[in-house]
Each structure stands twice: as structure tokens, then as C-alpha cells.
Amino acid sequence: DIQMTQSPSSLSASVGDRVTITCQASQDINNYVNWYQQKPGKAPKLLIYDASNLETGVPSRFSGSGYGTDFTLTISSLQPEDIATYYCQQYDHLPPSITFGQGTRLEIK
Amino acid sequence: QVQLQESGPGLVKPSETLSLSCTVSGGSISIYYWSWIRQSPGKGLEWIGFIDHNENTNYNPSLKSRVIISVDTSKNQFSLKLNSVTAADTAVYFCARGCCGADYYFDYWGQGTLVTVSS
């Protein structure tokens, strides 16, 4: 099974900061990585799919990059409404399986 | 706008079967893939399995022996059965739509339903 190692597990930053969250896959997964934002008591929300594609309606301050084993979610200028937990997710074809990273809790300093 | 809504008992006794349904509105269940995902209190997300409209299924290997996911296209619903539950199965259960192409990501989610396993 492919493992996803997400870091950091928690992060404190100031409004306006550039924030970066990383996920490392245990083997090459092309660009099959997706990123979600989850606020307390809510379902996760898709932010980025196929490593770098911004989901419709998601602010452009969110971006994703990476290919193979190393992936990054970046928030270019942190806003108060970005306080949430962020998860990466990978899809493996053979056999079909889906794994989430452990999550990154983002707080405002 | 696609919407998903979970339904089912919020309390299940140990060793019994957890049964949930997800009703899809605003779109047909006869395309895409349909998944169940759970989140134990204060923990991360765990994929349970998915089904397509042709009833092809794939399950998380760690749960495969206890899980059945089925679909009813006439009702635009899909369902989850998890048998022999224990306290470790207490979680918020989400249904979600899986999309697209060579990748698989969840673009629409239900609000989630808390299932507690307790006697």
C-alpha cells in the first residue's frame, strides 16, 4: 500500500504569510494527489485536484505542485478564513485504493 | 448542484451491523463513482470503499472483510453495511462522489453522520 506522509502536523502563521504544506508518497504516484480543507464540524472541501488544478470557486491564493513522490499545497497570503485542517489524498490504480495524509492543523498566530 | 445526504441509525450495538444510506440529488448516480469515508473523533480521514453504477466495488483492505457497498440506481442511492462493529468503528461517516479520469478525487460530500457503537 502507498503511504502518504504529510507535514507539518500543525502550523501557526500570521495573516498575510505564505504557508506551505507537504505530502510525500511512499512510491511514484504520477500527479494523482488531491488536497482538501476541513473546518470543524464540516465535510472536507476539495481545493486542488491532479496535484495542481484549482477546483472551481476556490480562491487563487491556493495552489498545488508536485509530481512523482513529493507534493506541496501553498497558500500565498493566509487569510483568517483559511483556518482549518488540510489533507492530501492519493489514488493508486493497482489495486485501486485511496489514502489520506494525516492532516495539517493550521492556526493563526 | 449535486447534493448528498447520509441517513441511518446514530447508535449501533457492538457486534451488530452498521447500515447507512446516501441519497444523491441534483445528478444521476449512473455515472461517476460513489464512496464512503469515515473520520473517528479527533482523527483523520479513512476511505472505506467505492462503487460504480455497474456495481463494481473496491474496498479498503483493512475493512474489506466486514464491508459491503451497494447501489440502487432506481432510488439514486448507495449504501454501506459494516458488520461486527466495535467501539473502534465509532466515527462520522461521509458519503462522497468520486471523480474523474485517471485520478480519483472527492468533489461532492454529504454533511456526515455520527455513528456511535455502544451497548
Q: What is the pLDDT of residues B40-53, one digit of tens each?
A: 998 999 999 999 87
Residues of B in contact with A42 (CB under 8 A): 111
Cβ pair B57, B44 in contact under 8 A: no
DSSP strand pairing (A62-67 vs B105-109):
unpaired
pLDDT in the model for residue A49: 96
pLDDT in the model for residue A1: 81
Residue B104 C-alpha, separation from nearest chain A C-alpha, in angstroms: 6
pLDDT in the model for residue B31: 84
Q: Using CB atoms, which residue from A46, A101, A103 is nearest to B106?
A: A46
**Confidence tier at A64 by pLDDT (50, 70, 90):** very high
pLDDT higher than threshold 90 for residue A21: yes
pLDDT in the model for residue A93: 80
pLDDT higher than threshold 80 for residue A45: yes
Size of interface A-B (CB pairs under 8 A): 64
pLDDT in the model for residue A57: 96
DSSP secondary structure of B28-60: -TTSSEEEEEEE-TTS-EEEEEEEETT--EEE-
- Cβ of A43 and B61 within 8 Å? no
Residue-wise pLDDT tens digits, B63-109: 999 999 999 999 999 999 999 999 999 999 999 999 877 788 999 99
**What percentage of chain A carries pLDDT values higher than 70?**
100
pLDDT higher than threshold 90 for residue A84: yes
- Cβ of A43 and B103 within 8 Å? no
Query: Which residue of A5, A98, A105 to mutate against B (max B Cβ within 10 Å)?
Result: A98
Q: Using CB atoms, which residue from B44, B58, B110 is nearest to A43?
A: B110
pLDDT higher than threshold 80 for residue A32: yes
